[in-house]
Amino acid sequence: MKSHKFKKFIMPNQDIYLWIIGILAVIMFKYNIIISIVTALFLVFLIYYKTVSTSRSKENWKEMIENLALDIDAATQNILLDLPFPLLIVKNEGEIVWYNAHFSSICKVENLISMKFPDLLPNIDLKKIKEGLENKKPISYALEGKTYKVFLNAVENINNEDITMLYWLDITEQEEVKQNYINQKPLMAYIQIDNFDEILQDASESYRPLISAIIDRKINSWANEMNAFLKKYDTDKYLMVFEKKHLYLMEEKRFHVLDIIRETQSGNNMPITLSIGIGHSRQATSFLENQKLSKSALDIALARGGDQAVIKKDEKISYYGGKSQAVEKRTKVKARVKAHGIKDLIQNADKVYIVGHEVPDIDCLGAALGIYRCSRFLEKDAYIVLNKSNPSIDVLYDSLIDEGYKDLFVTSEYANKNITSESLVIVVDVHRKSLLEDESILEKTDKIIVVDHHRRGADFIENAILIYLEPYASSTCELVTEIVEYMDDDIKLEEIEASALLAGIYMDTKDFSFRTGVRTFEAASYLKRKGADINRCKFLLKDDKDVFVAKIEAIKAAEITKDNMAISVIQNSTDKVKLIVAQAADELLNLQGVDASFVMAQDQNEVIISGRSLGDVSVQLILEKLGGGGHLSIAGAQLSDVNIMEAKELLKKAIKEYKEEGVNT
């Protein structure tokens, strides 16, 4: 570094010497004019020589660089021409400016110059190309039956124009190997007959072996279509192993085996239904992981009432079938087992917090009262988490306050502050976390019980230690009534508690006309013996004038489609709008030519939809397409970030998809 500085010091810029000579010539002019003139002429010569020398040097450097550039351009051109894979060059405006012979051969077009890129390859968006350039990632493209990985590069030409170079690498063989690997990956399906015991009990003894043989034959025939291995490991359970490529065929045919089995008739008076569970994951590292997913999928299918296939792929769940009513289970063994399990958990808890869904109805609050009475019988403090009342429960809520139940209700804020790890949270009439009165309560303890009668949907409370989910039941109040009955014979219900439980059953069954089974009447009979008052039930369910008038307006505004579905949009911004929507949907079913009804209204920042049917149409499957859920004949949905007319169009689209799926089933 010091040597460099010294060299620079003793060899300064040549202009300095010229300046020194010029200054000396001026000084000499004072002493000797002749010498001064000679010196000046010598200075002029030096300046001229420097100028010419510098100019020649620049020209030499320019010539050398140009020759080097020509050599590089020639080498580049040879490389481009001799590339072993296709190359295409386009301007950003989409004009093709150059291509090699390999690219011409794969696209099978002779003259591409000046063609527009979108005309040649309409499925590639130039915006996507630019994104690829920014992300430095190749894109995949199928062309003439082959798959290519397209690498992108942006450069500038001599005219300062941006151009894009696309290198096409044929990966067809690799993709075929990859796809074959995926298609041949083994998957597992759990198959279960939902109502095998009930079918055998319903059939005469001589037909029972025949029914079992027919079911086996039809399931085996379906497995043979899928080239699958089938093993019957119980009287009503099967295990099927098949290649993944056959799953696409199952989905395409929408699991038609469900219809085949349902239509089987051989001495049985009730339809035979299947539940199928299939699970697979890209992240699965072993066959055992997919097996667990398949078992979980079967549990979901059974929890939704059976007669359906459920495919669980990572976090995505697909449903097929489920268009029939859930079959009532005649055995009460499960109810007794669940009741004793709930009893043990309550006894081991310090306190019990009962949580329902947001904007609770009579079924929710009635069920909560039943759980409260069980907890108090076991000498445990119990609270119902309720932030505020609503028109659906105002009458019951006010009656409870008047009869000394004020301390029963606590806010979610209070619950969050006081719940400990030893507290028990019992969720009633809901199983979806997003619909809870307060979802954060579930984070305070791992002791959680779920009691619900809705078909299982997404966003399930997975960490519950006890789940009593029975979609065949008419209401959650019916399930809680059985829990009270089997927990202990000495439990005494107060008159308002028994009446509230009966009112919940009364409401969800539409005066015992919908979803009513033998056990529904048995539960109602038990509550009547415990002191339930029918007149008080009707009083708890009475409407006020505003709700009644709004229902009439909704019926008047209803549009009945050619598919016998009624759709009504109501304009009501009161706090009773959710109650009006639900009850209006019920009333529309009383009209001739209406098999299903949908009523919607704007409620603050969302559109609420309530769906009802007579059983032939699954409003649950329709509203699940909009993120909702419920039962085959009773369902609801809430849509955000849309206005009410946009929501109506989304509903019509969902109905259309449902009808098309029904045709293909």
Distance in angstroms (rounded) separating the CA atoms of residues 382 and 407: 10
Q: Which residues contact 638 (CB under 8 A, 6 or more apart)?
A: 606, 607, 608, 609, 627, 628
For residues 531 and 495, the answer to whether their CB atoms sit within 8 Å is: yes
Report the binding-site residues for Mn(2+).
357, 361, 363, 429, 453, 508
- In DSSP terms, 611 is beta-bridged to 598, 635
Q: Copy the structure tokens of residue 479.
A: 């399930």
Q: Which of 389, 390, 386 is nearest to 410 (CA)?
A: 386
Cα-trace Rg, the chain: 40
Strands 237-243 and 466-469: unpaired
Report the binding-site residues.
357, 361, 363, 429, 453, 508
Distance in angstroms (rounded) separating the CA atoms of residues 602 and 578: 9
Helix (H, G, I), strand (E, B) or coil at 241: strand
Q: How far is CA 90 from the centre of its chain?
A: 40
For the beta carbon of residue 321, count every other beta carbon within 10 angstroms: 27
Distance in angstroms (rounded) separating the CA atoms of residues 237 and 128: 49
**Angle at which helices 476-487 and 333-347 cross, to 10°:** 70
Q: Which helix (H) or strand (E) holds 469?
A: strand 466-469
Sign of the CA dihedral running 47, 52, 53, 55: positive
Distance in angstroms (rounded) separating the CA atoms of residues 245 and 649: 35
Give a three-class secondary structure readout of 74-102. Answer: HHHHHHHHCCCCCEEEEECCCEEEEECHH
Distance in angstroms (rounded) separating the CA atoms of residues 560 and 568: 9
